[in-house]
Amino acid sequence: MSPAALTPEPSFQVRPIIKRKDQKFNFGAVVEGLDLNHISDDDVKRLKETIWTHKVIVVKGQKDLTPEKHWELVTRFDPDASQVHSHGNLETFQKKGGMLSKARDVYGIPGAENVRLVGKGFQGEDHYGLKNLNVKGLSNDFHADPPDDKDFHEGFTRFQRWHIDAPLYARDPAWFTTLRAVKLPSGPDVTIRWDDGSGLSMQAPPGLTAFFSTSQLYDMLSEEEKQLADHSWVEYAPYPYMWIENCKAPSTGLGLKSEGKEHTIEELGEYDEKDIKRYPCVWINPVTGEKAFQVHGLAARKLFLRSSADEQARVVDKVEDIRAFLHNIQSRVLRPEYIWLPEIQEGDIVMWDNYGLFHTAVDYPIKYGPRSMHQANIGASKGPVGPVPIPLVC
């Protein structure tokens, strides 16, 4: 009998999503037949491979998932990682989270504090031990010129902040983020507008999360651009989200406007040089081998650009030039046909690959009702790997 015949079959089914003719994104699947409160080690391994392969998955029917089992699953994905949320404990997050902590309310679930309640509106008299919370959610206030109140009330909105879930200081980015829908708003579709003169827009139910693939973005590069990306790397600021806490986004939510609002490095206080993060511009998927152009433009402080391993890197350290360079590349995939907003039901849990995607929340009028989501991820035991090693001396 072959070894493969001895391997238990997975107990769940994976169904790639069916796309419309106008949709060109190349990721996404639905998983059925799992009870995440009781999942075997073999199925954890296969679920992990499924996320790396499909990049975004919707695991159906997890209404009874407890916060304790939610966090346990996250740790089983990466048992060698430090057993804490990728952004640290809540005290550290509130103190050094900058843009991330001041833009919205985040609460730890009692007894499972690494599972974070995020959302919008009144969460009920007792939400898993959290009493009478009225949560401030992410909003279009992040934009330098948000849509006017009348348009927003009528359901016209924007992508809030395109990003990866990554501390970019001290800890490596989580491989995966998990987001369970406890309570969703309901109402007519919102219209997401680019508002950048392009006339682009798309519609989606309220309260969803949007994604685009950075491996699909890599495939859009010319051969010369791929050569440059493969050999280049980025350095992030210390306490990067504090550094940019006063900055605002353009209307698409991609990147930041350069208005001189960044803190000076001195204003960030003491930091440890060894905790500064430098990553390749291209990250390789450990299961599929795909390359992704994965640079978090919000927090990039320096770019080191070169097209071969023996070339001296050109250092770009003006934020205006960094953001212009990245926008020229990343805006190519920021089109409706390459963006997916998985339509979920209460009890579903979305899991995604932070090494091959960008994502964003999309604000909606509170008249559609509250949104309650349980989010958890863990700083990876092993960070991103690029096609070419970064030089030891930068």
| More confident position, 359 or 394 | 359
Q: Which pLDDT belongs to residue 4? A: 43
Q: Which pLDDT belongs to residue 113? A: 94
Alpha carbon distance 225, 137 (integer Å): 38
Interacting residues of 188 by C-beta distance below 8 A, sequence separation 6+: 155
Q: Which pLDDT belongs to residue 89? A: 65
Residue pair 359/280 in contact by the 8 Å Cβ criterion: no
Residues 69 and 169 both lie in one domain: yes
Residues 202 and 85 both lie in one domain: yes
Residues 208 and 92 both lie in one domain: yes
Residue 233 lies in a domain: yes
Interacting residues of 218 by C-beta distance below 8 A, sequence separation 6+: 226, 229, 282, 290, 291, 292, 293
Residues 200 and 307 both lie in one domain: no
Q: Which pLDDT belongs to residue 334? A: 98
Residues 166 and 258 both lie in one domain: no
Alpha carbon distance 290, 318 (integer Å): 30
**Selection from 202, 180, 197 nearest residue 34 by Cα:** 180
Residues 97 and 53 both lie in one domain: yes
132-173 pLDDT per residue, tens: 999 988 788 899 999 999 999 999 999 999 999 999 999 999
Residue 379 has pLDDT above 80, yes or no: yes
* Token duo for residue 61: 């029917």
Instruction: Look at 37-41, 145-149, 279-283 and tell me which has the smallest mean pLDDT.
Output: 145-149
Q: What angle do CA 274, 358, 107 make, to 5 degrees?
A: 70
**In terms of residue numbers, what domain contains 323?**
224-331
Residues 141 and 248 both lie in one domain: no
pLDDT mean across residues, the chain: 93
Residues 190 and 238 both lie in one domain: no
Q: Which pLDDT belongs to residue 86? A: 82
- What average pLDDT does range 217-231 have in this prediction? 98
Confidence of residue 94 (pLDDT cuts 50, 70, 90): low
What stretches of the chain show up as alpha helix (H) in DSSP? 3-6, 41-54, 67-77, 90-96, 99-102, 149-153, 214-219, 223-231, 240-243, 319-330
Q: Which pLDDT belongs to residue 96? A: 56
Helices and strands (H and E) in the chain: how many: 10, 22
Residues 128 and 177 both lie in one domain: yes
- What average pLDDT does range 312-341 have in this prediction? 98
- What average pLDDT does range 172-183 have in this prediction? 97
**Selection from 371, 369, 363, 341 nearest residue 149 by Cα:** 363
Number of domains observed in the structure of the chain: 2
* Distance from the Cα of residue 136 to its chain's centroid: 19
Residue 1 has pLDDT above 50, yes or no: no
CA distances from 190 to 155, 200, 372 (A): 5, 14, 18
Coil, strand or helix at 274: helix
Q: Which pLDDT belongs to residue 392? A: 75
Residues 101 and 156 both lie in one domain: yes
